[in-house]
Chain A
Amino acid sequence: MTVPDGPAAAGRSPAIVISGAALRFGDTCHFAGLDLTLDGGRTTCLLGPSGIGKTSLLKLIAGLPAAGLSGTVSAGDGAPLAGRIAMMAQRDHLLPWARLIDNTMLGARLRGEAPDESRARAILTRLGLGPAIDLRPEALSGGMRQRAALARTLYEDRPVVLMDEPFSALDAVTRHRLQEVTARALAGRTVLLVTHDPAEALRLGDRVLVLNSRPGALREIEVPGGAIPRDQARGDFAAALGRLFESLGDGGAQG
């Protein structure tokens, strides 16, 4: 059985236009008047110091309520975004009582759709979780749990995927492998990946943006060449990584 990588037609993945985004807590303004367009079908990586509001920006796109957050978000194709987004967070948020297969199909159950068990099995198998399909999350390692969260995200099969530091709790080797799997699985979708890891951003991002500290402003970093996931051994990768670190250091009052 094969599972198509990416949505059936990559062209369906809409661009996302964010305008006038602002995050204020009382007198503190994290950012205001922020405009950003996520290219359709491409991966945009967002970096920046902790607590600057990257997660809030992600929530704004997802249509989730958050204190102090304002701004408008629309899809490039003019259709509503609700129901076209899948989300993956740093914590796996797997349901402890449910087998992996049921965790994967949670979205279908919550929407009252008939769960497609063969598709869920195929996704889990492709992510190397075949033998664990009937296990509960507590029986899994951190890497496996995060892969299960990825499986749940892929099962949603949405053209837009928002990821909030999905690999930051993993060890370096597991993270590296999972980045590759993710990049392949999400190719063709509109992806926003919030991360703390500059190398991760450069490996996975068609575009890399840095949100710098108060009042926040976005800066685009030139990315190295090569197909995603990019090869870190290339010479221009190291150069780009250097520039990125420098940019993160600028204005990063929080260090």
Chain B
Amino acid sequence: MKSMGRLAAALGAGIAILLLWQGAVTLFAPPPFILPGPAAVARRLWLDRALLLDHGLITLAEIGLGLVIGTLIGIGAAIAISASRPLRRILLPLVIASQAVPVFAIAPLLVLWLGYGMASKIAMAAIVIFFPVTIALADGIARLEPGLVDLARVMTGGGSPRGRRWRLLRHLYGPAALPALGSGLRIAAAVAPIGAVIGEWVGSAGGLGWLMLQANARAKIDLMFAALALLAVIALLLYRLVDGALRRATPWANSTDILKESEPT
């Protein structure tokens, strides 16, 4: 019942935006190559559905693979940062520098090195994604409740130090940091399309970003809007997918979740 209500509210908001859009087009009557109406965009979505689907799948694959690779790198970096102080001194500045340089600035390099295909876009998405994952997970590991830190110290006192760190990570620090990792992953899922689309703008032969550039150059603004709408849908679905998976993976953390209410009850 509750989820139906939320769905209705979301639909209502969507319809309101469409009405405003249509109203603005009717009222100000801009030329269609500046702002097409929603009806024109819907028509284009339908007419060019095969083309949009082709390019949408390319972008989706780039984002998806970028998400997987970026997350793995992020988790690895967070564990390395948490495990050893010297490693943290070396890695943390690198991690931060990787974000201080805008992705736009490295995009041409990546295209040069990895080619016009999907590899450079996946790399770009991974660069955007790994940072929130690394920081969130490292933070979650560092913030283990002091009482638990003490408890673990007393429990392992006098025991064999071999593999102690790994066991602490596996049974205590890791699971305790899962909700924090989840926050990082949610941000990652939301920003993932940025990397892929920028990569497509800089140099590619396919994908929604590429399609938008082509459509723009040919003043097919309705197609550009259609690609944009599809990108938004992909981003939303991806977020819901990641969010749902995290919810199932960390049920104990949901009570403190801002999105808790959206869970069907």
Residues of chain B within 8 A of A95, CB atoms compared: 148, 172, 175-176
A156 at the interface (CB under 8 A from B): yes
Q: Is the CB of A97 within 8 A of B250?
A: yes
A106 at the interface (CB under 8 A from B): yes
Of A82, A91, A96, A109, the contact of B157 (CB 8 Å cutoff): A82
Interface hub of B147, B148, B155, B255 (most chain A Cβ within 10 A) = B155
B194 at the interface (CB under 8 A from A): no
Q: Is the CB of A83 within 8 A of B151?
A: no
Given contacts A111-B159, A112-B167, contact A93 B252 (CB under 8 A): no
Q: Chain A's interface: helix, strand, loop or mixed, by majority?
A: loop
B262 at the interface (CB under 8 A from A): no
Nearest Cβ distance between residue B90 and chain A, in whole angstroms? Answer: 26
Nearest Cβ distance between residue A150 and chain B, in whole angstroms? Answer: 13
Stretch of A6-14, A58-66, A119-127, A173-181 at the chain-chain interface: A58-66
Q: Is the CB of B168 within 8 A of A110?
A: yes
Of A91, A98, A138, A156, the contact of B155 (CB 8 Å cutoff): A156
In the complex formed, the residue of A with least CB distance to B154 is A87
In the complex formed, the residue of B with least CB distance to A111 is B159
Given contacts A84-B158, A86-B154, A97-B252, contact A110 B147 (CB under 8 A): no
In the complex formed, the residue of A with least CB distance to B159 is A111
Residues of chain B within 8 A of A78, CB atoms compared: none
In the complex formed, the residue of B with least CB distance to A105 is B171
Nearest Cβ distance between residue A149 and chain B, in whole angstroms? Answer: 10
Q: Is the CB of A110 within 8 A of B172?
A: yes
Nearest Cβ distance between residue A77 and chain B, in whole angstroms? Answer: 14
Q: Is the CB of A93 within 8 A of B148?
A: yes
Cα distance, A221 to B164, chains bound together (Å): 43
B29 at the interface (CB under 8 A from A): no
In the complex formed, the residue of B with least CB distance to A86 is B154
Cα distance, A64 to B150, chains bound together (Å): 7
Total contacting residues, chain B, CB less than 8 A = 28
Mark interface residues in B164-206 (1 if CB within 8 Å of A CB, else 0).
1001100110011010000000000000000000000000000
Q: Is the CB of B171 within 8 A of A106?
A: yes
Of A80, A87, A110, A136, the contact of B150 (CB 8 Å cutoff): A87
A76 at the interface (CB under 8 A from B): no
Residues of chain A within 8 A of B155, CB atoms compared: 86, 106-107, 110-111, 156
Residues of chain A within 8 A of B99, CB atoms compared: none
Cα distance, A191 to B122, chains bound together (Å): 59
Mark interface residues in B37-66 (1 if CB within 8 Å of A CB, else 0).
000000000000000000000000000000
Report A66-86 residues with CB < 8 Å from chain B CB. Answer: 80, 82-86
Q: Is the CB of B151 within 8 A of A93?
A: yes
Binding site for B on A (CB under 8 A): 59, 62-64, 80, 82-87, 89, 91, 93, 95-98, 106-107, 109-112, 136, 138, 156
> Would you give 8 A-B contacts (Cβ < 8 Å), ordered by A?
A63-B154, A86-B154, A86-B155, A87-B150, A93-B151, A109-B167, A110-B155, A111-B159
4 shortest interchain CB distances as A-B pairs: A83-B158, A82-B158, A96-B252, A82-B157
